[in-house]
Structure formats: structure tokens, C-alpha cells
């Protein structure tokens, strides 16, 4: 008699399918634990398992009544169950040639009963089984057999759901990565064309476009790193944006700042990023004439009422006295638009030396 089952006719494809689910050696999950608990109660058995049959072992994604997390495939009755499409039921393991000389079915604490329903992929490949065991010979009722069959399909549905979510997340990450790279390339092209342009107006327009594309690229970079479609970490986002601005700043001008480690909606982050870009760019252009060195600094904080206060200031020469109004002198129409978009308040303050622009807003709920 032999204990080890014959290999599945499509063993290579079966093992590849099992690997694609990326389920082996993962932590316990409530959805699978609930299944084995329910099946054990309805079938009135002490042991229930979600067993996945690998090349050299069977590993239990969920188990009730058994301490071991895996066994060698030579001791796997489930390796027999995956050879058929229906439930394999062995009423007495010591009288069945597939299990009689299995070490798990011999001795004082021998498994004397086994029933397993195969876990079959949409392509018809069995990954393992949902099985129940008992220490005494027995036979399932028709209701118990139907329960085992239905719950095996539920286990497979959970596995397929995990696979679909993982595939979707991988695709999203790839798209985010490509979008980020494309945006960075566009920003670089805009900067290159700005340097080549002989028209001051065109040069300034291209520089603004390049900066804004760069800020959006930083948002996408944060989304890609954090693996979320809706929020970014404000501290990491602004730190990366400051690094980006430092790279394009004139010699002798640095950009730095601090922000709290809070998550905000990516759309809000993009708006803050555009304001940061424009404020820093204005400082680069007007606040440090004649190769003057200086510093642009941002601060962000979360207030007690949940609002976010973002400030960007420089230690440059400040506004000229002849500026009609502070805001018109700065040309901060875009800042006003951003403030309206965020339903916030924009404030411009003269410093000695320098200038500060502050925006307060209530962050949106991610979604």
C-alpha cells in the first residue's frame, strides 16, 4: 500500500496557480477561521482545516483542533482529495488503502475519519481542500456533505477575492509609478524649454508649468509609496516637495520646513503643493535680487479644531513700498483660487525681513 497520492495530472499548472494566490505562510485571517469553526460545528467533528497542498507539504491556512501548521505531503490525505471533483469521504481510514499506512491514521490518537471538499480555481485547478477529521469512524449526513461542499466554495471565493485585490493593487501601483515618471519627464521638458526660450513671458509661463507639474508628481510619488489612492502623509509630502524646490532654486537659496505626521486627502495636498510652489517661486524671483542668499521655510501644523495651518515665508527683501496692495503686488490670484477651493483663509504678512503667506483650511475627508 502507498500513502502518497499520485501527482495531479496538471501538477505544474496547479502549483503555479497555488503560488499565484500568494497565500502560503500568511497569518491567520478571520474569514477562514470562521469557516473551519462553522464546518466543525455542523459536521460535529473535533478537527477542521483549510489545507493547501504544495509540492512537498500541505499547509493549513486555517485550522481548528490541530496544533501543527503543516505536514509532509506524504502524510496528506488531502493530496488524494484534490484528484477528484467531489467530496472525498473515508469513513474508516484504517480500512482504506489511501490512508491505512498513513502515520497520522495509526496509533492511539489516530485520525479514523476524513472528509474533504477540493478548493478548485475558476480554471479547474485544485489548490487543496476544506476537510474535517475525527478520531472515530463515522459518516457524514447529506446536510453535512452539502455544508462542506458549499463552504469549500466560500473558501475559494475568499481566495479569489484576495487575488483580485492584490492584482488590482499591483496594477494601480504600476499606473501610479508610470504617471509619476511621466509627470517628472514633462516637468523636465518644461524647464528645458524655458531655458531655451528667448521670450521672457514664455520663459516664465514654462517655468510655472514645470513647477506645477513637479508638485503633482510629488503627490503621485507619495501615493505610490504609501499604497493608497486617497491620502498622503503631509510631513513626507512637503519634505519631498521642499527637496524638489531646492533642486530648482537659484544658487544660495535653500528650502526647508516642518509638518505634522498627519494624513490628508491627496486633492488637498496637491492644492497646498501648488501654493508652496508659487510662493517659493515668487521668492526665488523677487526676494533675493543680485545673487543674494536666503532661505524659504514652510511650516504646517494641525490646530486643535482639526484645521490645517500652512505657512511659507522667506527672509528676502520683502514687498516694495509702492505695491498697490500686498496681494496684488504678489500676484497671488492663484493663492486666492486655492483658498476658495479649500474653503480656507489666505493671509499675507510683511516680515522684517521677508514675507509670509499663510493658508488655513479644514481638510476634506478622504474618498
- In which band, very low, low, confident or very high, does the pLDDT at 94 lie, cut at 50, 70 and 90? very high
Q: First-to-last CA distance in the chain?
A: 61
CA–CA separation, 354 and 350 (whole Å): 6
pLDDT: is 337 or 288 the higher one? Answer: 288
Residue 162 buriedness (CB in 10 A; 0-12 / 13-18 / 19+): middle
Structure confidence at residue 96 (pLDDT): 92
Could you tell me the pLDDT band of residue 54, with boundaries at 50, 70 and 90? Answer: very high
Mean pLDDT, residues 117-137: 96
Predicted confidence band of residue 3 (pLDDT cuts 50, 70, 90)? low
DSSP three-state, residue 136: coil
Cα angle 177, 209, 332; round to 5: 120
What value does the mean pLDDT take over residues 320-333?
Answer: 47
Local confidence band at 328 (pLDDT 50, 70, 90 cut-offs): very low
C-alpha neighbours within 13 Å on the C-beta side of residue 361: 25
Which helix or strand (DSSP H or E) is residue 294 part of? strand 294-302
DSSP letter at 324 equals S
CA-CA-CA-CA dihedral for 14, 63, 138, 4, to nearest 10: 40
Predicted TM-score (pTM) of the model is 0.53
For position 9, what pLDDT does the model report? 92
* Residue 317: all three cell numbers together: 527683501
The secondary structure of 44-95 as a DSSP string is T-SEEEEEEE-SSEEEEEEEES---SEEEGGG-SHHHHTTSSS-EEES-GGG
Choice between 211 and 71, residue whose per-residue pLDDT is larger: 71
Write down all domains in the chain, each with its CATH number in brackets. 11-164 (3.30.450.40), 249-367 (3.30.565.10)
Predicted local distance difference test score (pLDDT) of residue 108: 82
Q: What is the pLDDT of residue 285?
A: 81
* Residue 265 confidence (pLDDT): 84
Q: Say which DSSP state 167 is in.
A: H
pLDDT band at 324 (very low <50, low <70, confident <90, very high): very low
Distance of alpha carbon 310 from the chain centroid: 27
Alpha-carbon distance 218 to 241, whole Å? 6
Residues β-bridged to residue 118 = 129
> Which of 314, 190, 329 minimizes the C-alpha distance to 253?
314
Cα 141 versus chain centre, distance: 44
Classify the phi-psi angles of 329: left when phi > 0, otherwise alpha if psi is within -120 to 50, otherwise beta: alpha
Q: How confident is the model at residue 208 (pLDDT cuts 50, 70, 90)?
A: low
**Percentage of the residues of the chain whose pLDDT score is greater than 70:** 79
Predicted local confidence at residue 2, as pLDDT? 47
Phi, psi dihedral angles at 244 (to 5 degrees): -65, -45
Q: Is residue 27 very low, low, confident or very high in pLDDT (cuts 50, 70, 90)? A: very high
Which of 29-33, 154-158, 185-189, 249-253 has the least mean pLDDT? 185-189
Across the beta sheet with 308-314, the strand order is 253-258, 294-302, 308-314, 355-361, 345-350
> 141: which DSSP letter?
-
What is the pLDDT confidence band of residue 29, given thresholds at 50, 70 and 90?
very high
pLDDT confidence tier of residue 41, bands split at 50, 70 and 90: very high
Q: Taking 70 as the threshold, does the pLDDT of residue 44 lie above it? A: yes
pLDDT at residue 269 above 50?
yes
Cα separation, 161 vs 148, whole angstroms: 20
Amino acid at each position: 500500500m502507498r500513502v502518497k497520492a499520485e501527482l495531479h495530472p496538471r501538477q505544474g499548472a496547479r502549483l503555479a496557480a497555488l503560488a499565484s494566490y500568494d497565500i502560503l505562510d500568511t497569518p491567520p485571517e478571520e474569514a477562514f477561521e470562521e469557516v473551519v469553526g462553522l464546518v466543525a460545528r455542523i459536521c460535529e467533528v473535533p478537527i477542521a482545516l483549510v489545507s493547501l497542498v504544495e509540492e512537498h507539504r500541505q499547509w493549513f491556512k486555517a485550522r481548528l483542533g490541530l496544533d501543527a501548521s503543516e505536514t509532509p505531503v506524504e502524510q496528506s490525505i488531502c493530496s488524494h482529495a484534490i484528484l477528484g471533483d467531489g467530496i472525498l469521504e473515508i469513513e474508516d481510514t484504517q480500512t482504506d488503502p489511501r490512508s491505512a499506512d498513513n502515520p497520522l491514521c495509526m496509533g492511539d490518537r489516530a485520525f479514523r475519519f476524513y472528509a474533504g471538499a477540493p478548493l478548485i480555481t475558476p480554471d479547474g485547478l485544485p489548490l487543496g481542500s476544506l476537510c474535517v477529521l475525527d478520531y472515530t469512524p463515522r459518516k457524514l449526513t447529506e446536510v453535512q456533505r452539502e455544508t462542506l461542499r458549499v463552504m469549500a466554495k466560500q473558501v475559494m471565493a475568499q481566495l479569489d477575492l484576495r487575488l483580485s485585490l492584490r492584482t488590482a493593487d499591483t496594477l494601480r501601483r504600476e499606473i501610479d509609478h508610470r504617471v509619476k515618471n511621466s509627470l517628472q519627464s514633462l516637468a523636465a521638458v518644461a524647464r528645458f524649454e524655458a531655458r531655451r526660450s528667448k521670450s521672457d513671458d514664455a520663459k516664465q509661463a514654462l517655468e510655472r508649468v514645470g513647477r506645477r507639474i513637479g508638485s503633482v508628481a510629488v503627490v503621485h510619488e507619495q501615493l505610490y509609496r504609501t499604497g493608497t489612492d486617497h491620502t498622503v502623509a503631509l510631513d513626507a509630502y512637503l519634505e519631498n516637495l521642499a527637496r524638489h524646490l531646492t533642486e530648482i532654486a537659484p544658487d544660495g537659496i535653500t528650502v526647508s520646513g516642518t509638518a505634522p505626521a498627519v494624513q490628508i486627502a491627496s486633492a488637498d495636498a496637491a492644492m497646498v503643493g501648488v501654493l508652496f510652489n508659487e510662493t517659493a517661486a515668487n521668492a526665488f524671483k523677487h526676494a533675493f535680487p543680485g545673487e543674494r542668499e536666503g532661505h524659504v521655510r514652510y511650516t504646517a501644523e494641525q490646530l486643535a479644531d482639526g484645521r490645517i495651518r500652512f505657512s511659507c515665508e522667506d527672509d528676502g527683501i520683502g514687498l516694495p513700498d509702492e505695491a498697490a496692495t500686498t496681494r496684488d503686488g504678489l500676484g497671488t490670484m492663484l493663492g486666492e483660487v486655492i483658498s476658495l477651493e479649500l474653503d480656507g483663509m489666505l493671509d499675507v504678512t510683511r516680515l522684517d525681513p521677508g514675507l509670509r503667506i499663510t493658508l488655513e483650511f479644514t481638510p476634506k475627508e478622504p474618498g
